[in-house]
Amino acid sequence: MHKKIRKIVIVGGGTAGWMTAAAFAHHGAGAGLSFELVESDDIGIVGVGEATIPPITDFNRQLQIDENEFIRATQASFKLGIEFADWYRLGHSYIHPFGHYGVQMHGIYFHHFWLRYRAQGGKLPEYAFNMHVNACRENRYGRPASNDRLPLPPMAYAYHFDAGLYAAFLRRMSERLGVVRTEGRIVDVQQRGTDGFVESVRLEDGRVVAGDFFIDCSGFRGLLIEQTLQAGYEDWSEWLPCDRAMAVPCERVPVTTPYTRSTAREAGWQWRIPLQHRIGNGYVYCSQYLGEDEAATRLLARLDGAALAAPRPLRFVAGRRKEAWKKNVVAIGLASGFLEPLESTSIHLIQSAVAKLLFMLPRDTVEQSTIDKYNSLARAELEEIRDLLVLHYTATERDDTPFWRHCRAIRKPDSLRQRWEMYERNGDIIIAVADLFKEASWFAICNGQGLRPRSWHPFADIPSREELERRFVLMSGDVRKRVDTFPTHDDYIRANCAAAPVAMKEKMA
């Protein structure tokens, strides 16, 4: 490709398409680029994907989105972590929080000191040192007051939002920024004879949309990246056997919890995502162990309120597109691969792909070295998330159903096996610079899933017992003091960003 890139075509208008469009139109304003997004109302969007992780707040901030306006427009609530119920064993639950435990001392992570403290009979649980877990348990959310001098950072947080409203919000924003939206079903793709680069797409009514560079946000079908360029798919179901989901919204309940709940079930797990106007629910399961009708029945029987629509089935295969970038096409969103939403990472992966592409956007020639770099970064990112998900399934005492016995027998990826062994040996958690999940996340999950290190870092033995006790009392006291200043999550929303009530028309008879 030797023509200056002037026109970028985005195929698909789900969360991936509109996040991409909004980011490129905002950051690239004035660069002489034009953007056209093609989507089909007939095909629609996947319509799930409502729980996020903290980097989404950076995405919004960079796009100068007013937070309260965004929350009202998407019926959003705040999210401080994920509760995992029944994962380690039935009746057990823990929270994977978005913030740290305690503070580092002697240059090493806090959890080493806590491992020593517990081994020596200390009574305080690990969550006594974590603001997020305490706020979750008490359904509180807030920001530090201006006179708060506690040696604690502000709370990292994310959102739960309505996926359809989010896409609509970003669409309005993108169109204001000059993105052209074209409605229609793509039925054909034209490639350049010489090298197979995509030149244009043809719609059902004969219109042709041409461009210099294409971003494939067409969802699971991968219209350009797979159906046209055959980039290939790496199937990860040997590690992540769930391949179906059943999704259904239900009526809200009086308390809006500031966390997502994931409850392990007989053949997978159930999500619960509280929004202002409803609760999003779904059962992610393995079709080898549960049928579709049974999944729907079980999901409907375990809702907090009346179902507001008929359960909707979805199919997927865990894995990644072998080349998320091929020729002049980059796949973003479901077109680039899929990992089940256990750690709410897909929307983050869209954001991360957009950020990478912003840095690497070609000027005229598409260089293979750029493509290779992009694809290797995307691969590493996905592999880390995969390992964290596999940890949930394999570090468990559950063996009460054929599905859980299957999970316990999964042969872990080498990268996970290495992390696991290091943690069990002496609590070591080694984080690479590019890792999405930092030590607090790996600790929360390793600990919550029942892994018990045999020892700890030698520096954790430096403070005397009395000194360690003194520091622990101070640290947990600071956490308590900060959390005590927070209002309830519902009070915070009411005071700052309450959305207009909506009539939930879809409600089932």
Ligand X SMILES: Cc1cc2nc3c(=O)[nH]c(=O)nc-3n(C[C@H](O)[C@H](O)[C@H](O)COP(=O)(O)OP(=O)(O)OC[C@H]3O[C@@H](n4cnc5c(N)ncnc54)[C@H](O)[C@@H]3O)c2cc1C
Catalytic residues: 79
Contact 427, 438 (CB under 8 A): no
Task: Select 286 or 468, whichever has its Cβ closest to ligand X.
Answer: 286
With a CB cutoff of 8 Å and minimum separation 6, the contacts of 143 are: 154, 155
With a CB cutoff of 8 Å and minimum separation 6, the contacts of 458 are: none
**Contacting residues toward ligand X, per CB under 6 A:** 12-17, 38-40, 43-46, 48-52, 163, 185-186, 217-219, 221, 223, 245, 247, 282, 314, 316, 333-335, 341, 344, 346-347
Q: What are the beta bridge partners of residue 407? A: none
CA distance 283 to 288: 14
Classify strands 158-160 and 77-79 as parallel, antiparallel or unpaired. antiparallel
Nearest in space to 196 (alpha carbons), one of 326, 28, 57, 37: 326
Q: Least distance in Å: CB of 316 to ligand X?
A: 5
Task: Select 216 or 428, whichever has its Cβ closest to ligand X.
Answer: 216
Q: What are the beta bridge partners of residue 188? A: 202
Nearest 10 degrees: Cα torsion 166, 342, 352, 69? 30
How many other C-beta atoms lie within 10 A of the C-beta of residue 481? 12
Given strand 213-216, what is the order of strands in its sheet?
180-183, 34-39, 7-11, 213-216, 329-331, 325-326
Q: Structure tokens of 504?
A: 């939930």
Task: Select 15 or 74, whichever has its Cβ closest to ligand X.
Answer: 15
Q: Least distance in Å: CB of 136 to ligand X?
A: 17
Task: Select 308 or 483, whichever has its Cβ closest to ligand X.
Answer: 308
CA distance 131 to 480: 8
Scan for tokens 């002697």, then name that residue.
106
Q: Least distance in Å: CB of 210 to ligand X?
A: 15
Q: Least distance in Å: CB of 342 to ligand X?
A: 9
Task: Select 43 or 150, whichever has its Cβ closest to ligand X.
Answer: 43
Task: Select 87 or 316, whichever has its Cβ closest to ligand X.
Answer: 316
Task: Select 347 or 436, whichever has its Cβ closest to ligand X.
Answer: 347
CA distance 472 to 441: 20
Chain Cα centroid distance, residue 77: 15
Chain Cα centroid distance, residue 411: 24
Query: What beta strand segments (E) does 40-131 contain?
Result: 77-79, 81-85, 93-97
323 backbone dihedrals φ, ψ, rounded to 5°? -125, 105
Q: Least distance in Å: CB of 241 to ligand X?
A: 15
Distances in Å between the Cα of 494 and the Cα atoms of 148, 227, 253, 276 are 23, 47, 15, 10
Q: Least distance in Å: CB of 113 to ligand X?
A: 33
Q: Least distance in Å: CB of 317 to ligand X?
A: 11
Q: Least distance in Å: CB of 183 to ligand X?
A: 9
Tell me the residue type at 341.
P
Task: Select 243 or 428, whichever has its Cβ closest to ligand X.
Answer: 243
CA distance 211 to 214: 7
Nearest in space to 388 (alpha carbons), one of 315, 448, 335, 454: 448
Q: Least distance in Å: CB of 171 to ligand X?
A: 10
Q: For the chain, what is the radius of gyration of the CA atoms? A: 24
Task: Select 74 or 476, whichever has its Cβ closest to ligand X.
Answer: 74
140 DSSP assignment: B
Calculate ∠ Cα 124-130-134, nearest 5°. Answer: 90
Contact 129, 102 (CB under 8 A): yes
Task: Select 135 or 217, whichever has its Cβ closest to ligand X.
Answer: 217
Q: Least distance in Å: CB of 167 to ligand X?
A: 7
Classify strands 260-265 and 268-274 as parallel, antiparallel or unpaired. antiparallel
Nearest in space to 377 (alpha carbons), one of 432, 431, 318, 443: 432
